Structure 1
Amino acid sequence: MENQFASQLKKLRTQHGWSQEDLAQKLFLSRQAVSRWEAGTASPDLATLIKLTELLDCSLDELVFAKTSEEEPRSQSRRMNFWEFIHLDWWLIFAFGGFFIWMLRAVVRIFQ
């Protein structure tokens, strides 16, 4: 993860045409801090990561994992089977079952 972050930070920084010093000034940090991040010997805290995403105009996934927004997660690229649906939405069984029983009783009362 650190190596991906380090190379991605350097790539995004150079795309903006900023030196390490420029980025450090924008974050109110030292140039050495940015240098250590790009070398992979240190990593920023969460608040600084969020500031970096705002400055570099990218998502956190793109900055940390080098994933672009065009990449689709595998879980969304395939259809859900019946058992996965039941696993995730099991509570719907009670809602539909209760509604079905209520309707069945109402129909039976009408025809009695």
Structure 2
Amino acid sequence: MKLLGKKIRLLRHQRGWSQEDVAKQLDISIPAFSKIETGITDVNLSRLEQISALFEMSVVQLLTYNDPEQEIKNASDLEVANKKLHDRDAEVIELQKKVIELYEEIRNSKSFG
């Protein structure tokens, strides 16, 4: 449930709401809401529906929500990793060519010797 709490905190921050703002809208105490965000308190389905409605999304959307900024960072990291992999592949191909050339040189020198 800690992941859910992080998602709720992120959504709250994106809207510029304080814990007090959300706690009032959920009709719970600030410490009770804080425990939801930190994952100390498990959220029942009723509370989950209430929270998702507050953020104008379905329960499924809330549970599967990912930070768009984090997704962009992950995509960027993936692009960097793909480029490094491509560069390494090119290096391996060049090394393979050199090995083949050396093999050919050795084979040719033995046939002339």
User: Unpaired runs of 5+ in structure 1?
Assistant: 69-112
Q: How does 1:1-112 map to 2 (within 5 A)?
A: 2-66=1-65
Aligned letter for 2:54? L
Return the offset for 1:55. 0.8
Contact 1:61–1:67 (CA under 8 A) maintained in structure 2? no
Query: More relative contact order in 1 or in 2 (CA 8 Å, sep 6+)?
Result: 1
CA contact (8 A) 2:7 2:66 kept: no
* 1:29 aligned partner, one-letter code: I
Q: Retained in 2: the 8 A contact 1:37–1:44?
A: yes
Contact map agreement 2:9 2:37 (CA 8 A) in 1: yes
Measure, in 1, the Cα distance between the counterparts of 2:12 and 2:66. 16
Question: How far apart in 2 are the matches of 1:18 and 1:24?
Answer: 10
Range 43-52 or range 3-12, more displaced: 43-52
Higher Cα Rg: structure 1 or 2?
A: 2
Would you identify which runs of 4 or more consecutive aligned residues in structure 1 move more than 6 Å?
A: none
- Considering fraction of residues, name the structure with more helix: 2
Task: Tell me, in whole angstroms, the C-alpha distance in 2 between the residues paired with 1:10 and 1:56.
Answer: 11
Percent identity over the alignment is: 31
Per the TM alignment, residue 64 of structure 1 is displaced from its structure 2 partner at its CA by 2.4
Aligned residues: 67
TM-score when normalising by structure 2:
0.53
- Say what the alpha-carbon RMSD is for the aligned residues: 1.8
